[in-house]
């Protein structure tokens, strides 16, 4: 739980390559658990980069030890990819603090988080009027309105949170007031390394299961692995796995070296998530009728893979980031 948190706060200070390795291995077994860790460390990274000494000393030791789980709350019913459209507000209180009001949707870890990184509007409409807050989930006025039932990643907690005049001190603001959206997008950039690693882990699990089944399952007197219709699927699956893994490691290593990595993280997430979804379907196909049953794990990999193309920036958003890096902003 403290992989990327410095040792002085009780973490391992292992860096983002180690983080990618850990998330991949967790996702190879259970993708929901992997994203729980990924979001937890994404928030910890934001506190480390942007937080005050008081915020770091308060939260990072708890997060590093796993005593507190971190959650993330950005999306709203009318604000998804267009995050600048959020309507939840933070009104200045007489004591200098803020009163938080609004509804947040699809908050990862939100049902059991001890602290949530949440975005609220403190100023004018648009991106520059949004501020980031570190909110203790035990505060009065925070209500889990519903737990979302999902296609996959069932072991990842996803909830809608209501904030009804939640009183927070001025010290709850993470970074400068009005920089919340850029702070959220910065956090999501590192988070995309985690989602790329998650997708890579799902893909690795698909390959493991498919190779095993193809060697054991016989048809027409021989293992189905002997047929090119199956073996070529496995060959492409293995190749895309290595490509996804190396793209993820490249982004992670650039992050560890302090080099720009936003485009590399988007490329890793775009490729790995597409490959995971594609090859999870192929894994089900290789398993035939068995793949459509809960007797084998590939149906779960199939359900888990799709979300990696959606959260922490859809595939279309990743393409937009990559295209703008190539072409600049074209209106």
Same domain, 323 and 187: yes
Same domain, 164 and 246: no
Give me the pLDDT at residue 79, please: 87
Whether 174 and 201 have beta carbons less than 8 Å apart is answered as no
Handedness of CA 165, 170, 175, 178 (dihedral sign): positive
Q: What is the pLDDT of residues 76-108, one digit of tens each?
A: 998 888 888 899 999 999 999 999 999 999 999
Give me the pLDDT at residue 159, please: 98
Give me the pLDDT at residue 57, please: 98
Give me the pLDDT at residue 183, please: 84
What CATH code is carried by the domain that includes residue 214?
1.20.140.10
Q: What is the mean pLDDT of the chain?
A: 96
Give me the pLDDT at residue 186, please: 87
Mean pLDDT calculated for residue range 264-289: 98
Same domain, 110 and 220: no
Same domain, 186 and 318: yes
Same domain, 89 and 141: yes
Number of compact structural domains in the chain: 3
Q: What is the pLDDT of residues 26-55, one digit of tens each?
A: 999 999 999 999 999 999 999 999 999 999
Query: Which domain does 98 fall in, by range?
Result: 70-178
Same domain, 299 and 317: yes
User: 70 falls in which pLDDT band (50, 70, 90)?
Assistant: very high
Burial (0-12, 13-18, 19+ Cβ within 10 Å), 20: buried
Structure tokens at 167: 């009183």
Active site (catalytic) residues? 312
User: 238 falls in which pLDDT band (50, 70, 90)?
Assistant: very high
User: 125 falls in which pLDDT band (50, 70, 90)?
Assistant: confident
């Amino acid at each position: 739980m403290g992989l990327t948190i410095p040792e002085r706060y009780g973490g391992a200070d292992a860096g983002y390559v180690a983080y990618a390795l850990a998330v991949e291995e967790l996702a190879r077994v259970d993708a929901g658990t992997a994203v729980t860790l990924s979001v937890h460390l994404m928030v910890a990274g934001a506190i480390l980069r942007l937080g005050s000494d008081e915020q770091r000393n308060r939260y990072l030791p708890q997060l590093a030890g796993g005593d507190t789980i971190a959650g993330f709350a950005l999306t709203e019913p009318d604000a998804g990819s267009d995050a600048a459209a959020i309507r939840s507000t933070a009104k200045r209180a007489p004591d200098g603090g803020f009163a938080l009001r609004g509804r947040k949707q699809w908050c990862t870890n939100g049902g059991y988080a001890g602290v949530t990184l949440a975005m609220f509007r403190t100023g004018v409409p648009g991106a520059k009027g949004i501020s980031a807050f570190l909110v203790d989930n035990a505060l009065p006025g925070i209500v889990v309105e519903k737990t979302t039932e999902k296609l996959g990643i069932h072991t990842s907690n996803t909830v809608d949170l209501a904030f009804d005049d939640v009183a927070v001190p001025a010290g709850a603001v993470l970074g400068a007031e009005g920089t919340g959206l850029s702070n959220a997008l910065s956090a999501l950039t590192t988070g995309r390394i985690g989602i790329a690693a998650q997708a890579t882990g799902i893909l690795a699990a698909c390959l493991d299961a498919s190779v095993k089944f193809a060697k054991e399952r016989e048809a027409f007197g021989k293992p189905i692995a002997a047929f090119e219709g199956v073996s070529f699927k496995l060959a492409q699956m293995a190749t895309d796995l290595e490509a996804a893994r190396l793209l993820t490691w490249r982004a992670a290593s650039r992050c560890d070296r302090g080099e720009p990595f936003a485009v590399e993280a988007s490329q890793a997430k775009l490729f790995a998530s597409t490959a995971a979804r594609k090859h999870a379907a192929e894994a089900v196909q290789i398993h035939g009728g068995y793949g459509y049953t809960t007797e084998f794990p590939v149906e779960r990999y199939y359900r888990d893979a799709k979300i990696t193309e959606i959260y922490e920036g859809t595939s279309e958003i990743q393409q937009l980031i990559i295209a703008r890096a190539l072409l600049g902003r074209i209106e």
